[in-house]
């Protein structure tokens, strides 16, 4: 039993059995040879596309070097601070080694999970390593931030990529400088590293020669069984989506159906993970006739599908189908992330169309409409990088979902990359089964033409906020023409759609808007069931121009925002009618939910 702060002194005596070791090494050797051949075959002739692109990163740091040559003051200042901090750390470490209680030179970053093992604080050596890293990384980032003369986009890139660099060099990512891995290696005789190498090779094999770090056990989940399992039927389908109608759980339902626009960057079942945190099941239980569009995972045959096709073959086709299924021409709608952007575009398009179907209320989850400030995603969105994406998509017909997932994961690299590297490869453990991370790993492709339109017209040129800035199906659209009541939900810690940026979208509509700010982030803040009593949310009866003014006047509430939304939408849902079973209307049942489209994996 180790004393507090004492490293394991157990020698490497618990070596695996020779037969076990030999079998493991044979498997590793065989798999390594296959991976080498697969990599040469798949990537040797055509090159490979990366997010981020190494050339883009190197040019940004070249610009940094040029500015530091012109004015070395930021570098000299950083060096002076590092020297002073290091001296203070040495002095306090010496005092601590003599048994004295001393205060740390630098505090652990808040909510940083890398240094949770007690030896990071209790053992003098590892505490010294940790503090040295934190002090040095802080000064490196400060130096980069203090350099003048860089254009805004290059400065953003440098800040982002510098953070990625210092995060990659954290002592928690290495065997000999992480006490948890060090002790695990001694206790298992290095068995953790053998297991970790096997896990690494498995992930390389899964990624066809490129490293795709597993976040969860992909074999533990299956759509229709333990995720995406709310009962329902597919009642309509076309090239881009299947429309699912869910089986009612109440004798009566609201007259006006609820149509959900999920994002097509991932699968729809983020809203239907398990029964206890399924927004879809909860909405069905509240008495809604719920429909959702399950988007196809497109391949090269759909390369020419445009953004307007996602509108026409998505919600516009769904509205027609819902009227045939229920007899109702009016729906309430919910859109999540890019699904919310599509919902807003659909509202604007319908406002000037001659269609008889309509959307009577709209709920937008973490939705960008004004792309003036898009947070750290902007580091991927200059002309050079968009051209690289378009060149890659032109050759393949689509953008692989794994690249999108990688780009998003790097925004929170410690939580969504390095923690799994440590667990899988250094500790040699299997990733923990987690439904949310399974969904996060189940990414989808983007058709080339649609994705190019989206990147340029929304993110790069920010045309959606301008009246007539975007034309869909021959019709210039204007969000200002939308008078539909809107419930606008954003989340405080969202790293994909920052809430202050989404708040700007509330000013674009001419109808009544209610803005609600949930706790947590892009996923957990939305998938926050009424029974969880977590995170809380804020409301304000006014929509001032300044988001900080909104926040200052907002009222805090405990628990989930779901009941608040229900109280808002039920007044727009009509009277109660007899519950509708899928297949009772004019649309025959095609197959059971969750349908076949959601099961198409990359």
Write out the catalytic residue numbers: 337
Q: How far apart are CA 89 and CA 105, in angstroms?
A: 6
Cis geometry, peptide bond prior to residue 594 (ω within 30 degrees of 0): yes
List b or e across 63-81, with b for residues whose CB sees 16 or more CB atoms inside 10 angstroms.
Answer: bbeebbeeeeebbeebeeb
CB 135 within 8 A of CB 82: yes
> Are the C-beta atoms of residues 233 and 583 closer than 8 Å to each other?
yes
Separation CA 365–CA 516 (nearest Å): 10
d(CA 173, CA 413): 12
CA nearest neighbour of 295 among 602, 522, 599: 599
Nearest CA to 409 among 211, 222, 262?
Answer: 211
286 class by beta-carbon count within 10 Å (0-12 exposed, 13-18 middle, 19+ buried): buried
The number of angstroms, rounded, from the C-alpha of 324 to the middle of its chain's C-alpha atoms is 35
Checking 563-566 for CB contacts under 8 A at 24+ apart, the result is: 563/530, 564/516, 564/537, 564/539, 565/363, 565/487, 565/489, 565/516, 566/286
Phi, psi of 269, deg, nearest 5: -80, 10
> Which among 365, 338, 333 is positioned nearest to 350, based on CA atoms?
333
CB within 8 A of 535, min separation 6: which ones? 518, 519, 520, 524, 525, 528, 560
Place of tokens 């990071």: 120
Nearest to 397 by CA among 511, 281, 304: 304
Its sign, for the CA torsion 320, 326, 328, 330, is negative
- For residue 266, give the DSSP letter: B
Q: Rounded to an integer, what distance in angstroms lies between the CA atom of residue 564 and that of residue 388?
A: 44
Distances (CA, A) of 372 to 159, 368, 386, 454: 19, 10, 17, 15
């Amino acid at each position: 039993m180790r004393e507090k702060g004492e490293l394991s002194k157990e020698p490497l005596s618990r070596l695996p059995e020779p037969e076990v070791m030999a079998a493991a090494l044979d498997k590793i050797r065989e798999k390594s040879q296959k991976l080498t051949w697969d990599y040469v075959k798949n990537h040797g002739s055509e090159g490979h596309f990366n997010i981020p692109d190494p050339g883009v990163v190197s040019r940004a740091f070249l610009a940094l070097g040029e500015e530091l040559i012109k004015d070395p003051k930021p570098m000299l200042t950083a060096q002076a601070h590092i020297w002073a901090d290091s001296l203070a750390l040495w002095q306090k470490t010496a005092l601590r080694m003599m048994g004295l209680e001393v205060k740390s030179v630098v505090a652990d970053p808040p909510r940083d999970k890398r240094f949770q093992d007690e030896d990071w604080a209790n053992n003098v050596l590892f505490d010294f390593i940790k503090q040295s890293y934190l002090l040095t990384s802080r000064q490196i980032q400060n130096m980069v931030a203090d350099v003048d003369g860089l254009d805004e986009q290059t400065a953003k890139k440098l800040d982002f990529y510098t953070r990625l660099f210092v995060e990659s060099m954290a002592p928690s990512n290495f065997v000999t400088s992480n006490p948890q891995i060090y002790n695990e290696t001694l206790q298992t005789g290095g068995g953790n590293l053998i297991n970790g190498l096997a896990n690494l090779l498995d992930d390389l094999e899964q990624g066809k020669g490129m490293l795709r770090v597993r976040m969860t056990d992909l074999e533990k989940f299956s759509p229709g069984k333990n995720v995406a399992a709310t009962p329902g039927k597919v009642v309509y389908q076309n090239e881009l989506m299947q429309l699912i109608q869910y089986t009612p759980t109440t004798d009566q339902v609201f007259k006006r159906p609820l149509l959900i626009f999920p994002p097509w960057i991932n699968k729809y079942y983020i809203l239907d993970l398990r029964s206890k945190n399924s927004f879809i099941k909860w909405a069905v239980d509240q008495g809604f006739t719920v429909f959702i569009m399950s988007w196809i995972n497109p391949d090269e045959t759909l390369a020419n599908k445009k953004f307007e096709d996602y509108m026409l073959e998505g919600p516009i086709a769904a509205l027609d189908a819902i009227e045939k299924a229920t007899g109702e021409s009016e729906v309430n709608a919910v859109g999540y992330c890019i699904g919310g952007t599509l919902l807003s575009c659909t509202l604007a398009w319908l406002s000037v169309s001659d269609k008889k179907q309509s959307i009577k209320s709209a709920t937008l989850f973490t939705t960008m409409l004004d792309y003036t400030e898009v947070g750290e995603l902007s580091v991927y969105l200059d002309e050079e990088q968009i051209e690289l994406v378009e060149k890659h998509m032109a050759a393949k017909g689509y953008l692989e979902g794994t690249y999108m997932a990688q780009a998003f994961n790097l925004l929170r690299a410690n939580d969504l990359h390095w923690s799994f590297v440590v667990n899988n490869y250094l500790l040699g453990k299997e990733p923990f089964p987690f439904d949310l991370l399974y969904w996060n790993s189940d990414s989808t492709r983007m058709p080339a033409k649609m994705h190019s339109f989206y990147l340029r017209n929304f993110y790069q040129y920010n045309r959606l906020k301008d009246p007539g800035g975007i034309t869909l199906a021959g019709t210039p659209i204007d969000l200002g023409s939308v008078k539909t009541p809107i419930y606008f939900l954003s989340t405080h810690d969202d790293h994909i759609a920052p809430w202050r940026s989404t708040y700007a979208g509330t000013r674009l509509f001419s109808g009544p808007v209610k803005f609600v700010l949930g706790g947590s982030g892009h996923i957990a803040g939305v998938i926050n069931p009424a029974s969880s009593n977590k995170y809380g949310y804020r409301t304000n009866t006014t929509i001032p121009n300044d988001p900080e003014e909104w926040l200052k006047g907002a009222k805090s509430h405990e628990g989930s925002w779901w009941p608040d939304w229900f109280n808002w939408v039920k007044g727009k849902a009509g009277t109660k009618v007899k519950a509708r079973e899928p297949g009772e209307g004019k649309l025959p049942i095609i197959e059971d939910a969750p349908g076949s489209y959601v099961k198409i994996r990359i």
